[in-house]
Amino acid sequence: MAEVARTGVLVAAMVATGWFAGLFFAFQIAVMPGLARCGDRVFVSAMRAMNTAILNPLFAVAFVGSPLALAAAGLLHLAPAQRPALVWIAAAFVLVVGVVVVTMTRNVPLNDALEREGAAAEDDEAAAAAVRRRFAGPWTRWNALRTAASALALACLAAALAA
């Protein structure tokens, strides 16, 4: 029974982390490159709309669920016989917490600035261009870091499952 619980929680952590990684990956390879082909006002409007839309329960499940499930998986793997998996789970946890920190300290402040400045900029091409210049490059660079770290966390969980 304990093994079923350990494996179940580890798989749940892996699924939530996969959602986490997939979201950042999709933004990196499709959303931001697609928006790069749009005019400045469309870019600002679309990003503002996405920043509002993403605040939903499914996003919360991935964003909060991944670190919580990883913590639970770690606790269930504290026994000496489970230490090989615990090392990988701990590594995944550190990576995911790093992603949360980057999100909260880098990407969210950029999103907030875009929201503050973007409403007025949507009607003014020069203002929209300035808002976009301040937002797009830094946001995409931080997202690349989140993408890599969350993908690496997912790989760590695959190693934990195999351990």
Question: What's the pLDDT tens digit per position in 108-163?
Answer: 999 999 999 998 887 899 999 999 999 999 999 999 999 999 999 999 999 999 99
Count the alpha carbons within 13 Å of 36 in the hemisphere toward its beta carbon: 11
Core vs surface per residue 56-94: b (16+ CB within 10 A) or e: eeeeebbbebbbebbbbbbebbeeeebeebbebbbbbbe
Tell me, yes or no, if the pTM score tops 0.85. Answer: yes
Specify whether the CB–CB gap between 20 and 62 falls below 8 A: yes
Domain housing 35: 2-76+85-162
Best CA proximity match to 144, nearest among 110, 102, 114, 113: 102
Over residues 71-118, the pLDDT tens digits come to 999 999 999 999 999 999 999 999 999 999 999 999 999 999 999 999
Q: Quote the pLDDT of residue 67.
A: 97
pLDDT in tens, 47-69: 999 999 999 999 998 899 999 99
CA angle 114, 35, 55 (to 5 degrees): 50
* Closest-CA residue to 50 (of 135, 161, 157, 138): 135
Please count the structural domains in the chain. 1
